[in-house]
A and B are shown apart, each in its own frame.
Chain A
């Protein structure tokens, strides 16, 4: 197991190098002089030249790439062209916001999706199965922005049960420490605030989690159905084990692998920034951060945003791979 993890970590190195190469090329593939772009058309030639020098743009590409990677290793993602602020400092709250939202969206998706899938498989062809799968079909097909707008309209405007936007009550902002607001509220031992933050999380989590939930439910159902037909399940049943035990203990474990794969992929997708949900619920996440940067051609931010998202995706995959071997010791690589 340890040897496997080490091997798997070593595999990461070429992947990471490839990622940096691609993000590095983004800036250089785009026509035009970055220094000119930064200063605008009215800038004097001299100013452009000075900026080029201070940015190292007059060096050969190899050396520039070297500087880029060295800076990355130091945790320096560069400076935003638009705001002139350090990206490392700017990007963190956005990552945390996306992370928190993804966490709760996936919690919702996994809890409902897995259980609905299991019950559908257990009571195959029952009315519950039929309804759950219809619901799942609607769930994968529903446009996220529509769902988000409907939620907002019904639960924020008409009923007033939940807030319409943001991560917390804007009149009373949290003293952020980690930028994970739920965690921060725990640290402050401020329990009413935890409740407020969870209230803000609910609508966007449901909007964001609906598609993964539907996919997970369908995957769980089909995977469970397959396992339920295998011989060992019949044996367990023959031993006289109760239905619940058969399903949740014996069958689920073998059905988990494909479900886990889907969960991993979906988590990766959500971490990439859910631009629609983030826009509608004014969630200051990574998706919106990169989207704004694209609008303004803020290349260093696009570059860093893409790099961070790719990195998170790789990490999720790594964790899923490690979980495979943990769940199913027969898996050997």
Chain B
């Protein structure tokens, strides 16, 4: 018997030794210890022991940083959307611009000056008053790499500011020329040139207001210590695990938020997330396999939510490569690929077959354009007309990651491959890691490629200008498509401030692109979310950053 005990005690010793050896420098998360819910461990639905309204929102990945402007990451803005506010905001279900921290705004006739009238008596979570000066500091921080709060020496950069406002301070194309504080609650933005989507951009969550006092206090640690004016304030963050927010009692909107606490949980597996929802451990889940959707819809106690369309998945063509430089060949491929079959097979009907590049709910969507449709004979005719009766070979590049617009690129590639085989085009599937995939397609090493694009400001400019403008070659224009007429129309629409005019211009762009066919638009996906039936007023936003201020949990 002695031997047995010795054996076990040695093993225990081994682990205890390791345990103590490693807990020496215990870097306990300081935020986590502020959490004061020690009343009990009850697993009561939707509330903790104190009877507070607690909502658990589970998603697939953790936030990168809670300094929203320095990254472009949906999992980060999903959280910061509820901590911070921008001058303008989007409507609950669409990208229509509505007031945010600015209750009103004025545009000069020439479109070069925008004056925003700010909400008064708003304070940040740390008690700092919100005013025009705070707005100016935030914008200067993003615009000027030398700004004392830009933290460029710590690796901070503000890519979306550069994309949306034409670069940074000192660049010729930088569009925000001046920011003038008129008085505490009035601020004027002077532009270099009129910008069509300017208000649309101002409503983006990436341009939300951080407390200047917090920037001073936390410095480059601001990414882990967010302080805004939004409905919830930050409590703690344990990486890859959970982020806890709690109600901001002095929120500017009376009676909101309704929840006392919001907890963002990371559950990487789609199936595990659904199980956690079913077992009541979480209240809302984002990201659902289309195959599970029907089950959720019919299940009692669960509610399925479908987000609005805000992306496009496409089969792109490098139009510089032969024979893709021939318009007839490109049209033939459009006839040959059965997009409806792809959408039906892979998205379980929770998606829309794409006709144009932009989603149907976007400004200027051209409804007169009819889909090419699946037509093998027509495709063969066109190929013959172009002089390719005997077929040819093409490389088809397949993205190695799943994206909301294309959850299963590998299968899409297989369908495309067999579709093209029917009309005599042999495709060789090329696989690359994600970073080299983007790098090499950016350099034009590919022929056909699968990719997509997600909207961020709900404006067509963000699709057309990024993906098919001649100036974007070497950037996101991986089709190397350059058409002067298209470029001119896109530029004109980008500088026009009358939205009806812009819509007309984009309709023309779509008509030309449909004829020119620089790619096959396959799908606009409608990502799914689900929640328990007790969760009320949850409206998923197409941008995936869901405002939770009005959400509440019904108690029976």
A→B interface (CB under 8 Å): 38-44, 46-47, 50-51, 54, 75, 79, 81-85, 88-90, 92-96, 99, 103, 106, 110, 114, 149, 152-153, 156-157, 160, 163-167, 169-180, 183, 188, 190, 192-193, 196, 244-245, 248-250, 252-253, 256, 263, 279-282, 284, 288-289, 292, 295, 297, 315-316, 319, 323, 326-327
Known contacts A175-B32, A177-B33; is A47 also within 8 Å of B27 by CB? no
Please, which residues of chain B bring their CB within 8 A of the CB of A177?
A: 26, 28, 33
The total of Cβ contacts below 8 Å across the A-B interface reads 222
Q: Is the CB of B155 within 8 A of A39?
A: yes
Known: A110-B11, A173-B32, A177-B26. A165 touches B276 (CB 8 A): yes
CB distance from A162 to the nearest CB of B (A): 9
Q: List 13 A-B contacts (CB under 8 A).
A: A42-B159, A44-B145, A47-B157, A93-B238, A93-B241, A95-B22, A156-B276, A166-B281, A171-B43, A173-B263, A175-B32, A178-B23, A315-B18
* In the bound complex, CA of A177 to CA of B157 (Å): 34
Residue from A42, A288, A315 within 8 A of B157 (CB atoms)? A42
Are B272 and A280 in contact, with the CB atoms below 8 A?
A: yes
Q: How far is the CB of A295 from chain B (nearest CB, A)?
A: 8
Q: Using Cβ atoms and an 8 Å threshold, which residues of chain A touch B4?
A: 248-249, 252
Stretch at the interface among B34-42, B379-387, B411-419: B34-42
* Chain A binding surface, main DSSP class: helix
Closest A residue to B46 using CB positions? A171
Q: CA separation between A176 and B244, bound complex, in Å? A: 14
Nearest B residue to A297 via CB reads B435
Interface status of B240 (Cβ within 8 A of chain A):
yes
The distance from the CB of B462 to the nearest CB of chain A, in whole angstroms, is 15
Complexed CA–CA distance, A44 and B272 (Å): 43
Residue on B nearest A93 in the bound complex, by CB: B238
Q: How far is the CB of B28 from chain A (nearest CB, A)?
A: 5
Is A327 in contact with B238, judged by CB distance below 8 angstroms? no
Does B19 count as interface, using CB distance less than 8 angstroms? yes
* Known contacts A83-B65, A282-B272; A163/B38 CB under 8 A: no
- Among residues of A, the one whose C-beta sits closest to the C-beta of B76 is A83
Chain A residues positioned under 8 Å from B56 (CB to CB):
170-171
Interface residues of B in 31-62 (CB under 8 A from A): 32-33, 35-38, 40-43, 47-49, 54, 56, 61-62
Bound state CA distance, A169 and B42, in angstroms?
9
Instruction: Let me know if A173 and B28 touch, CB within 8 A.
Output: no
**Complex alpha-carbon distance, A152 and B61, angstroms:** 20
Binding site for A on B (CB under 8 A): 1-4, 6-7, 10-11, 14-15, 17-19, 21-23, 25-29, 32-33, 35-38, 40-43, 47-49, 54, 56, 61-62, 64-65, 70, 145, 152-157, 159, 162-163, 168, 220-221, 223-224, 236, 238-242, 244, 263, 265-269, 271-273, 275-276, 278-279, 281-282, 434-435, 475
Q: A166-B265, A172-B49, A180-B19 are in contact. Are A319 and B7 (CB under 8 A)?
A: no
CB atoms of A149 and B220 under 8 A apart = no
The minimal Cβ–Cβ distance linking A85 to chain B, given in whole angstroms, is 6
Query: What chain A residues lie within 8 Å of B49 (beta carbons)?
Result: 172
Q: How far is the CA of A252 from the CA of B3 in the complex (A)?
A: 7
Do A103 and B15 touch (CB < 8 A)?
yes
Most buried by A among B3, B49, B271: B3
Known contacts A42-B162, A172-B41: does B153 contact A54 (CB below 8 Å)? yes
Distance between Cα atoms of A256 and B7 in the complex (Å)? 8
- Known A99-B19, A284-B238, A284-B240: A179·B3 in contact at CB below 8 Å: no
Beyond A47-B145, A50-B152, whether A92 also contacts B26 by CB under 8 A is yes
Once bound together, how far apart are the Cα atoms of A249 and B524, in whole Å? Answer: 69
Cβ-closest chain A residue relative to B47 = A171
By a CB distance below 8 angstroms, the chain A residues around B273 are: 165
A164→B223 contact, CB < 8 A: no
Q: Which residues of B contact A54 (CB under 8 A)?
A: 153-154
Taken together as a complex, chains A and B put the C-alpha atoms of A297 and B435 apart, in Å, by: 9
Nearest-neighbour CB distance to chain A for B36, whole angstroms, equals 8
A84 touches B268 (CB 8 A): no
Please state if B41 and A192 are interface contacts (CB–CB under 8 Å): yes
In the complex, are the beta carbons of B40 and A172 less than 8 A apart?
A: yes
Q: CA separation between A166 and B15, bound complex, in Å?
A: 23
A152-B26 in contact (CB<8A): no
Q: For residue A163, which residue of chain B has the nearest CB? A: B281
CB-contact partner of B41 in A81, A193, A292, under 8 A: A193
A110 to B282, CA, bound (A): 34
Residue numbers in A under 8 Å from B19 (CB-CB): 99, 103, 180, 183
Asked if B157 and A43 make an inter-chain contact with CB atoms under 8 angstroms apart, the answer reads yes
Nearest B residue to A252 by beta-carbon distance?
A: B3
Q: Contacting B275 at CB < 8 Å: which of A164, A170, A292?
A: A164
Q: A84 to B223, Cβ gap below 8 A?
A: yes
Q: Which 4 A-B residue pairs are closest in the complex by CB-CB distance?
A: A284-B240, A284-B241, A249-B3, A92-B27
